Amino acid sequence: MHANVYISVFEGDRLAHYHEGHNVWVTNGRSYLAKMISLSSYDPDVPFDDRRMKHIGFGIGGNKQALLGVINAPPISTAYPAGSDPNATTGNSYDAGFPENPPVSTLERPVRITGGTTPYPGAPGDVWLTRPPPFGFVTITPGPGQVMFRSLVDTTIGELVYPPFTLIPISEVGLFLNGAEVNDPFNDGHLVSYHSFGTIAVTTGMKIEISWVVGFG
């Protein structure tokens, strides 16, 4: 299957880890795409939905998470407890290959870009989704019928990994619409596309760059 999600992890100028894979459009995302090419009424023409892609979120859930001993022990287990997602899962159940059982509508165990350690739903100032440029969302067109969404998370400025955390093992990412709230960890109904992958152990001193291509053709 052709890759369209690319994750590069840098330590200084050195590429420390690289991953590429293919996303799945969850039920809400498929519904969103159908509405985007339709009208709810005609003459006057009224669109079903005027939301657009805006955010990327990272998580430690998904069935490809390998460091279960780490995520199910403090401080990660207390800050990001399993079972808080809409399906009340064990924390490593979401399957990008079969996103209907359990039904994926959020990240399974989202992690903060910045904030504190309050368990879900977190504190009011916690930021769970990528921010505006230069660190947040950038849209470019790599080719005909394609659009690329890019974002950068920088642990050197205290993003993602900060005390008491020394390591955040990311294993899932989601693409969210602009109706999502950056201070809401789950944003149920705003996740349209999901990807899970083998664990990437992120520590301080790293930068994570993600490029997500949506193509038609």
Give the mean pLDDT of 112-136.
92
Give the mean pLDDT of 16-29.
96
HSE, CB side, 13 Å, CA atoms: give it for residue 147: 7
Instruction: Render pLDDT for 75-94 as a digit per residue (tens, 0 to 9).
Output: 999 999 999 999 999 999 99
| Total domain count, the chain | 1
Q: In terms of residues, how long is the chain?
A: 217
What pLDDT shows up at residue 137? Answer: 87
Q: What is the mean pLDDT of the chain?
A: 95
SS3 state at 155:
helix
Instruction: Render pLDDT for 36-76 as a digit per residue (tens, 0 to 9).
Output: 999 999 999 998 999 999 999 999 999 999 999 999 999 99
Instruction: Answer whether residue 176 shows pLDDT above 80.
Output: yes
Closest listed residue to residue 197, CA positions, set 14, 24, 12, 15: 24
Instruction: Answer whether residue 5 shows pLDDT above 80.
Output: yes
Q: Are 207 and 154 in contact (CB under 8 A)?
A: yes
Count Cβ neighbours within 10 Å for each residue of 170-190 and write b for 16 or more, e otherwise.
Answer: bbbbbbbbeebebbbbbbebb
Instruction: Render pLDDT for 97-118 as a digit per residue (tens, 0 to 9).
Output: 999 999 999 999 999 999 999 9
Reported pTM = 0.94
Task: Give the integer Cα–Cα distance in Å for 118 and 138.
Answer: 29
Domain span including residue 81: 5-215
